[in-house]
Amino acid sequence: MRVLVTGASGFLGRAVAARISAAGHEVRTFQRRPSGVAGVEDVHGSITTPADTPYAGLAYAVSGMHAVVHLAAKVSLTGDPAAFEAVNVGGTRTVLQAAADAGVSRFVHVSSPSVAHAGSSIMGSDALPAAPEQARGDYARTKARAELLALAADAPAFSVVAVRPHLVWGPGDTQLIDRIVDRARRGRLPLLGRGAALIDTTYIDNAASAIHAALDAAERVHGQSYVITNGEPRPIAELLAGICGAANVAAPAWRVPASAARAAGSLIEAIWRARPGTDEPPMTRFLAEQLSTAHWFDQRRTRADLAWTPEVSLDEGFARLAAHYRQTP
């Protein structure tokens, strides 16, 4: 099978492209920077450029492909709302149209569980419907709209399946792991509340193998959304301690009331909109909600429908992360 992977310069996209290529498929990638994946054909361009624009790249990238795995997105806690709209909604619309025009028969849309998170705990739910009107923040809202767009394009000759990997992490992750470790090292990583909220996460190899499984199963499970996790919910304090222990830094020991963190997050968001910093803000309301509420998911339908099980346990993931930090200067 010939497969186009968008967003393969990112942490998850790179792992997905490598996984599909290793399985014997012919892989082409499309993103603004080199993917760094051996054995694939990189095509550079932006999903915000119309596919029929000369030299835009997307029309060529999707030509001759049997399937598309769409990961390219704007992922951030804050930012210009128009940028989230352009990339996550407009870009998805463009990739869907280009894929359909090129005769692609399978389309795996990589979404996020945040598309159905309204700020309260999620405990043992399956994939709830994407709800842009309830989602928290511009990223979640636009990803929810993008998922609805993708599923609306599902058709007998164009099988679309949406997958929502939850909190993907592993060695080399600069978005989640490195930020946690950096803040812990500087003593700026608190526990919100008692740190007892149960949270599901997904080790990078498991996320990549599940997306590959969704690609294989697309014609059988099209029109559906699936949450992907390790299926090993742990208290947030235990997760943070595992990550910090792997990096040989002290786990967070000081606590902030969850209500105070949410209020502070709202205030910081307002300040960041007026005067954006050079990095992600230290707290947002969405982040405070994520760190203080339970969010774990029933994985039975995901595993049965995709014929998939995680390959790497949480504890093995922590061991691999520790090995990575031992080898990293």
Lowest mean pLDDT among 19-33, 133-147, 182-196, 292-306: 182-196
Q: Report pLDDT digits (tens) over 309-319.
A: 999 999 999 99
For the chain, list the domains and their CATH numbers: 2-166+203-229+297-311 (3.40.50.720)
Q: How far apart are CA 175 and CA 7, in angstroms?
A: 15
Q: Report pLDDT digits (tens) over 143-164.
A: 999 999 999 999 999 999 999 9
pTM over 0.75: yes
Residue 92: per-residue pLDDT: 97
Q: How far apart are CA 284 and CA 115, in angstroms?
A: 17
% of the chain exceeding 70 in pLDDT:
85
Name the pLDDT band for 55 (thresholds 50, 70, 90): very low
Task: Please check the confidence at residue 93 and state whether its pLDDT lies above 70.
Answer: yes
- Cβ atoms within 10 Å of 220's Cβ, excluding its own: 12
**Dihedral sign computed on CA atoms, order 89, 94, 100, 103:** negative
Q: Report pLDDT digits (tens) over 110-123.
A: 999 999 887 678 88
Name the pLDDT band for 306 (thresholds 50, 70, 90): very high
- Cβ atoms within 10 Å of 190's Cβ, excluding its own: 18
Residue 294: per-residue pLDDT: 84
The active-site residue, picked from 55, 60, 139, 226, is 139
Q: Report pLDDT digits (tens) over 212-253.
A: 999 999 999 999 999 999 999 999 999 999 999 999 999 887
pLDDT, averaged across the chain: 88
To the query of whether residue 55 is one of the catalytic residues in this protein, the response is no
Residue 263: per-residue pLDDT: 66
Three-state secondary structure call for residue 44? strand
